[in-house]
Each structure stands twice: as C-alpha cells, then as structure tokens.
Amino acid sequence: MSANAKLRDHLSPHMQDGETIEVAVVAQLKRGMKQHLAKNLATGLATGLATTAATGGVGLIAFASLPAVWVAVTSQRVLMYAKTSSASKPGKLVFEAPRQAVTASMKSRLLTQVIIADRSDGQSLARLNLGLRRKSANSIVVSVER
C-alpha cells in the first residue's frame, strides 16, 4: 500500500459526512507574508547580534530547514498536517480552511511554489514549496480553485 493510500486511511476518521480527499501530497510549509516578514526581521536581528558578539564581528550564515507537511485538499477543506517520521501517518493539524475561503496560485521558476491566500483580501496564508513537482503543485491549485 502506498504512503498516499495509507495517509487517506489515517485521515478518513477526521473527514466530515460526504467529504472526500481529492489531493494528498507532501510539501515544505512556508509561512504567510505577514508572519514571514515579522519572523525574518526578529530572527535576522537576533542572529546578527549573537553572531557579532560570539565571533567578534565575523559574519556567519545560519538557516533553518522548512517543516514538511502533508497537504490534503478535500471536497470541503484545505488541510495541512505535520509530517512525522512515519511515511504516511499525519502529525498535528497545522492549517485548516474551508475551500471556498481560499484561493491557490502557482509560481514556477526553478522550484515550484503554491500560494494559499485569503479569498476576501488576497493576503498570503501559507506558501508551499514543492520543489520540482509541478504536477503535484498544479493538482493542488486545480483542486482548490474547483
């Protein structure tokens, strides 16, 4: 049984009556624009000050890996669950929104990104990095916009 099929089995008890999973893929979760800007400013300032103090002025580059999530687009909602060490068992629910309340768009350059935004004001709620998986990104966008 594939990891995707096992995930669908794990999520089935959490589905509402008549709700079906249309798309289930793994992606890296980036925050929405508001949270992203605030976090980057605070992290950059703290890292810069700590690096300067610890190294006597020598600069270092620090980065954090992005958390992986299972993205599940259902007939009614967009859900994101933290990916656990188990290939198919979802972790904690990290994002949930009614499909009618959000839009999805895809940016594709070297890497492919899906932006989930609030339909009412266009503000970015989540950005998903799908790497080279354009078909997976497109399936998310098509499913959300349906």
Alpha-carbon distance 145 to 137, whole Å? 12
Tell me the CA distances in angstroms from 16 to 7, 12, 107, one per residue in order.
16, 9, 31
Of 86 and 42, more confident: 86
Residue in the block written with tokens 């992005």: 66
DSSP notation for 44-85:
HHHHHHHHHHHHTS-------PPPEEEEEEESSEEEEEEE-S
What is the reported pTM? 0.73
Alpha-carbon distance 97 to 9, whole Å? 21
What average pLDDT does range 104-123 have in this prediction?
Answer: 93
What average pLDDT does range 63-69 have in this prediction?
Answer: 65
HSE-up of 101 (CA within 13 Å, CB side)? Answer: 8
- pLDDT value, residue 33: 46
- pLDDT value, residue 14: 82
What average pLDDT does range 47-76 have in this prediction?
Answer: 64
Tell me the CA distances in angstroms from 46 to 20, 40, 57, 63, one per residue in order.
44, 10, 14, 13
Q: Give the confidence band of 8 by pLDDT, cuts at 50, 70, 90.
A: confident
What average pLDDT does range 87-105 have in this prediction?
Answer: 88
- pLDDT value, residue 64: 46
Domains and their CATH numbers in the chain: 3-50+66-145 (2.30.29.30)
